[in-house]
Amino acid sequence: MASIEQLTQQFIQQFGGEAAEIKAFHAPGRVNLIGEHTDYNGGYVFPAALTFGTTLLIRKRDDRQLGLATTNFPSSKALDIDNIAYDEADDWMNYPKGIVYELEQKGIKFSSGYDLLFHGEIPNGAGLSSSASIEVVTAYALLTMEGQPTDTVQIALLSQKSENEFNGVQCGIMDQFAVANGKKDHAILLMCDTLEYELVPFQSGAYKLVIGNTNKRRGLVDSAYNERRAQCEQAVVDLQAAFPELKLLGQINLEQFNANKHLIKDEVVRNRAQHVVEEIDRVLRSMDALKANDLEAFGQYMNGSHDSLRDLYEVTGPELDAMVAAARQVPGVLGSRMTGAGFGGCTVSLVHEDSIERFKEEVGRKYTEATGLTPDFYVCSIGNGVEQL
Ligand code: GLA
């Protein structure tokens, strides 16, 4: 991890001037422990912020330019802050641009232009929310610089809007919410319909969360993701025959669903909805297990979540399935599942600390045998949400 001093030097190399006026901010990535593909259905999720994410150095300018650069690869640009529009060729810069645009839509009149240098520590395309991390840190930093309120729930909503509308990705609220509101050593039980949330201490004793990166690029994820969303909406329409007021699958419980699921004509759509309603139920049961300090039960719910994402929601794919299958064979593993949107990206496993080396060796070897890909593993600690450094 680069130090602020190193990043400050890089900032001055990029934009010139003095160090004195530069401010630093950080937003984490996230891992979701359970509750997958439930957020846009108005259900529960249980994510946690990571200790690594995106560091942003920022300084006011004398003119109305927006200077954007990253330490990760050669890529920089100067834009007119009053004239921001999406441009595919701008690649990652569309995330900070989208935030500037949405803040302007909300009525923020920037007092000047800014220079921004981003330092990303989250592997791209790994499903650990690198884009949400960039969005949230940009919003928090710009609002702070402008002397505006930095309500982290509002920042999460604005960041999601920018991802949905400016960047055209129909994600739910989970990633931006976790990145904005995380707390060290806590996971967030979030009800995505009302945004009520509870910070739950994640006390796992001798068990650690191990993230396994399949290093499989998430190719068709956007179209498959949007298709799943549409199928959930279709299930709601079918279920309205019994529940005329129903807007989101998260508004009925498992019992109500099972008594009426015959109303969903298409079998694939019925399976998608079955996953969502059962997964929401599983999140609540896993909370009871956690409160009773029953980590074994929590691990079983993690396993149940993955199996349902594989068989009913069909968003896992051979790489995630191979990694999870190998993980579950290692003694000392209480549970293992995919995390995030799926189709590649990462798994998360609950592993006894004495088994971590064996886990990396055995899962790594079996995964490579099965897929030809080399994975990465991160033993993860739970960190804070967005903050000024
Ligand atoms: C992605 C989206 C989230 C959520 C997950 C699946 O990470 O950005 O909003 O839908 O997939 O749980």
- pLDDT tens profile 167-224: 998 999 999 999 999 999 999 999 999 999 999 999 899 999 999 999 997 665 678 9
Nearest by Cα to 115 from 181, 160, 82, 66: 66
Q: H or E element: which one contains 131?
A: helix 130-145
Q: Which residues is 189 bridged to in the sheet? A: 198
What is the rounded average pLDDT for all residues in the chain?
Answer: 96
C-beta 299 within 6 A of ligand 1: no
Percent of the chain with pLDDT over 70: 99
Q: Residues with Cβ < 8 Å from 257, sequence gap 6 or more?
A: 239, 249, 273, 274, 277
Rounded-to-integer distance, Cα 389 and Cα 255, Å? 48
Question: Ligand 1: distance of its center to the CA of 45 in Å?
Answer: 10
Query: Which residues of the chain are modeled with pLDDT < 50?
Result: none
pLDDT in tens, 49-67: 999 999 999 999 999 999 9
User: Which class for 354: exposed (0-12), middle (13-18), buried (19 or more C-beta within 10 A)?
Assistant: exposed
Task: Record the tokens describing residue 295, joined without a space.
Answer: 């980590």
Question: Ligand 1: distance of its center to the CA of 39 in Å?
Answer: 7
Sheet strand arrangement including 23-32: 76-80, 65-70, 114-120, 47-60, 23-32, 387-388
Question: Ligand 1: distance of its center to the CA of 174 in Å?
Answer: 6
pLDDT recorded at residue 223: 84
Task: Decide: 42 and 249 in contact? Cβ < 8 Å.
Answer: yes
In 3-state terms, what secondary structure has residue 348? strand
Q: Catalytic residue among 39, 115, 175, 238, which?
A: 175
**Is 62 a known active-site residue?**
no
